[in-house]
Amino acid sequence: MKRTDQKQPDTYPIQKAALVILPAILLGVLAMIAGKEPPVLWGKQLAAWLILAFLAWALRRFAVRIPVYVWDVLLLLLLAASLLGQGTDGVRRWLDLGVAHVHAAMLVLPALLVVLCRVKKPYPVLIAAAAVVCFQPDLSQLTAFCAAALPLIWKRGTKRILQEGITVCLCILLRICLSVQTVVPPVPYTEGILSMLGNISGILVAVGWIALLLIPLFFVFGYYKKKSRPLLCLAIYYTVTILFILDGHYPVPFMGFGLSPIAGYWLAYAVMVPEKDKDDPERGAAA
């Protein structure tokens, strides 16, 4: 007799999720060691990858039981909390959590995109989040978030005038952010980590780019295999985030020192509803 309750394959298995970011992290560790940076820096990177993976795996077991509107509120408040800090030269991108100094947008936005895929009408939260990032201000994260939100806006069943209106609002926020954007001096082991790899070997720079691009490709392949909208949103978000490092003034996620991209990646994993527990993504959980 054929069983009908067989476990469906996970859209986002933890083994693959952990392995896909590991090459970028290891290359960053190599560059920091070669550059004689303190072991505490690259040690934190490795520890964050391992410890946060376990915490995300544990959180995911009951995250699906938490109402989606609760996630919306919590993530939006966490993002907005960055605006309450004193900041530096008008830049308020970071949260001081005591034990860590985290980049609010990189921590929150990936998970927020995943959660909004489960909301029938995500537009108020989407615009609110974009407005917060606009006034941090953070052009790279705002651009990545707005681009990744397009599949949520231009989905079937949404009125054309609403789609166009929200898109125009996001474009206005991008223009405002561009006008108030403040350039933060690059840190060698964060924004300049690819240059540190280049000091070892030019080949390692090419390998570094491949390692970085593997991350959005992982989500692209997952999307085409499962037609999962959260994976498509994450693919766009990480693609734009990685392309912005060409400017030289933006953090290199996973490879450069910084716990926020790693924590944000694993938080997105934690709130990703397994395929077997998920309704039609067009319906999702009502909020």
What pLDDT band is residue 157 in, cutting at 50, 70 and 90?
confident
pLDDT tens digits, one per residue of 231-286: 999 999 999 999 999 987 889 999 999 999 999 999 999 998 765 444 444 433 33
What pLDDT band is residue 15 in, cutting at 50, 70 and 90?
confident
In sequence order, what E strands does the chain have? 94-96, 101-103
Which pLDDT value is given to residue 11? 57
Q: Does the structure show a pLDDT above 70 at 3?
A: no
CB 114 within 8 A of CB 234: yes
The CA distance from 154 to 172, in Å, is: 18
Which pLDDT value is given to residue 208? 97
Which pLDDT value is given to residue 273? 75
CB 182 within 8 A of CB 137: yes
Q: Does the structure show a pLDDT above 90 at 46?
A: yes
Residue bearing the bigger pLDDT, 13 or 159: 159
Q: Does the structure show a pLDDT above 70 at 9?
A: no
What pLDDT band is residue 13 in, cutting at 50, 70 and 90?
confident
The CA distance from 233 to 230, in Å, is: 5
Q: Does the structure show a pLDDT above 90 at 93?
A: no
Q: Does the structure show a pLDDT above 50 at 129?
A: yes
Q: Which helix (H) or strand (E) holds 283?
A: none
Residue bearing the bigger pLDDT, 148 or 10: 148
Take residue 79 and report the two structure tokens written for it: 């993002």
Residue bearing the bigger pLDDT, 287 or 49: 49
The CA distance from 193 to 175, in Å, is: 29
The CA distance from 195 to 89, in Å, is: 26
pLDDT tens digits, one per residue of 49-62: 999 999 999 888 77
Residues 6+ away with beta carbon under 8 Å from 12: 222, 228, 231, 269, 272, 274
Count of residues in the chain: 287
Q: Does the structure show a pLDDT above 80 at 134?
A: yes
Q: Which residues pair with 88 in a beta bridge?
A: 91
Q: Does the structure show a pLDDT above 80 at 221?
A: yes
What one-letter code names the amino acid at 5? Answer: D
- Give the mean pLDDT of 120-124: 91
The CA distance from 183 to 86, in Å, is: 17
What pLDDT band is residue 287 in, cutting at 50, 70 and 90?
very low
Which pLDDT value is given to residue 281? 42
The CA distance from 213 to 249, in Å, is: 19
* Mean pLDDT rounded to a whole number for the chain: 87
The CA distance from 244 to 140, in Å, is: 6
Q: Where are the domains of the chain?
A: 14-272
